[in-house]
Amino acid sequence: MEQRAFGRLGRVSALTLGGGGIGGVWGTTNRAEAVATVHAALDAGITMLDLAPSYGTGFESEVAVAEALRGRPSAAMITSKVQLPDDDGRDFAVRIRRSLHASLTRLGREHLDVLVLHTQFRRPGTVLSGTIDPAGYRDEIVPVFESLRDEGLIRAWGITAVGDPVPLLDAFGAAPRPDTAQIVVNALDQSGDLWIHGDGVRPDNAGLVRAAEAAGVAVTAIRVVAAGSLTDGLDRSVPADHPAAADFARAAPFRALAASFGESAASLAHRYALSVPGVATVILGVKNRAELAECLAAEARGPLTADELKAIDALTD
């Protein structure tokens, strides 16, 4: 598998196994299949596993990976996350350290390779539930991440760069910068249920990728199949008014284009994300070995041609 530059951590495989799928976020799976999927990913050359305490009931993604790696030497990098869904009472340092130590305990590790802040930012002077203000990030959260790295509890840190681009661009522009940023990268630029900012703010995922690359922040691409909307068929039941259902309906031309190329929509979606300049690695939301195999085959096919990219871009003109 292709290896790409990943900042201070050296190089990473072009594909990363995400914890959402094996944690049951994207449809039904079971522990045995999750463990087998981790093994298959490592055997295929995937070198990073992207987890979170919130991926699955009972911390399923972290627990499944711990089981998969037990007694199996592996040099795979492990990423997990901390969520700070509100800034009432602050105490960011206590909450971050508590979450990290709980993840390390579940994983049976002494350190994480990357700890990601998995909470969206809001603009200064605004109020939005479930977000943090940029001042709290800069003055209180960043120093904690830097201290954790100095202590050897993490090797690097990052942010989930989803949502309002203004505070995210500020985060990329000021040192100390995150080592990595998770950014929505998909063929139709669909953020789905991740978008919580209403119509008053417009996303700029392409601009975020360019800014991160320019700042030396390694980009991990997320939502490359737009929560299942850029596939041949949603594999879980969602209400008709759910963002994934709406996005799936809007993606009909994309599915037709994939068929004309002789591949599945999911394959084309992954090849698109792998072809975007500045993307270090694409996080997979697969929940079993069959879905993983489809993604591995897509990566093996190589990047899209200029004409193929042009045809995809025409879908959003």
Per the model's pLDDT, the better-predicted residue between 237 and 100 turns out to be 100
pLDDT at 128: 86
Q: What is the Cα 101 distance to its own chain's centre?
A: 21
Q: C-alpha angle with apex 277: 256 to 7, nearest 5 degrees?
A: 135
Burial (CB < 10 A; 0-12, 13-18, 19+), residue 188, is middle
Residues 251-278: what's their mean pLDDT? Answer: 97
Question: Which tokens hold the place of 42?
Answer: 């490592």
Cα angle 225, 230, 232 (rounded to 5 degrees) comes to: 125
pLDDT at 87 over 90: no
Q: What is the pLDDT of residue 26?
A: 82
Q: Say what the pTM is.
A: 0.94
* Structural contact between residues 102 and 113, judged by C-beta atoms closer than 8 angstroms: no
pLDDT > 90? residue 29: no
| 190-214 burial code (b ≥16 CB/10 A, e <16) | bbbebbbbeeebebbbeebbebbbe
The reported pLDDT for the residue numbered 25 is: 85
In this model, does residue 137 exceed pLDDT 90? yes
Whether the bond between 176 and the residue before it is cis, its omega within 30 degrees of 0, is yes
Note the pLDDT tens digit of each residue in 41-86.
Answer: 999 999 999 999 988 777 799 999 999 999 887 889 999 999 998 7
What is the per-residue pLDDT for 67? 94
- Compute the average pLDDT of residues 129-148: 94
In this prediction, residue 201 has a pLDDT band, given cuts at 50, 70 and 90, of: confident
The predicted model gives 32-39 an average pLDDT of: 95
Q: How many helices (H) and strands (E) does the chain have?
A: 13, 12
Quick one: pLDDT at residue 126? 86
For residue 145, pLDDT over 80 is answered with: yes
Q: What does the pLDDT read at residue 85?
A: 81
Q: Where are the alpha helices (DSSP H) in the chain?
A: 19-22, 31-43, 60-69, 92-107, 134-136, 142-150, 165-173, 205-215, 243-250, 252-261, 265-275, 289-301, 306-314
Q: Mean of the per-residue pLDDT values for the chain?
A: 93
Domains of the chain: 3-314 (3.20.20.100)
Contact 157, 145 (CB under 8 A): yes
Q: Is the pLDDT of residue 20 over 80?
A: yes
Mean pLDDT across 266-291: 97
Percent of residues, the chain, with pLDDT higher than 70: 100
Q: What is the mean pLDDT of residues 305-309?
A: 96
Q: What angle do CA 20, 242, 49 make, to 5 degrees?
A: 10
Between 60 and 180, residue with greater pLDDT: 180
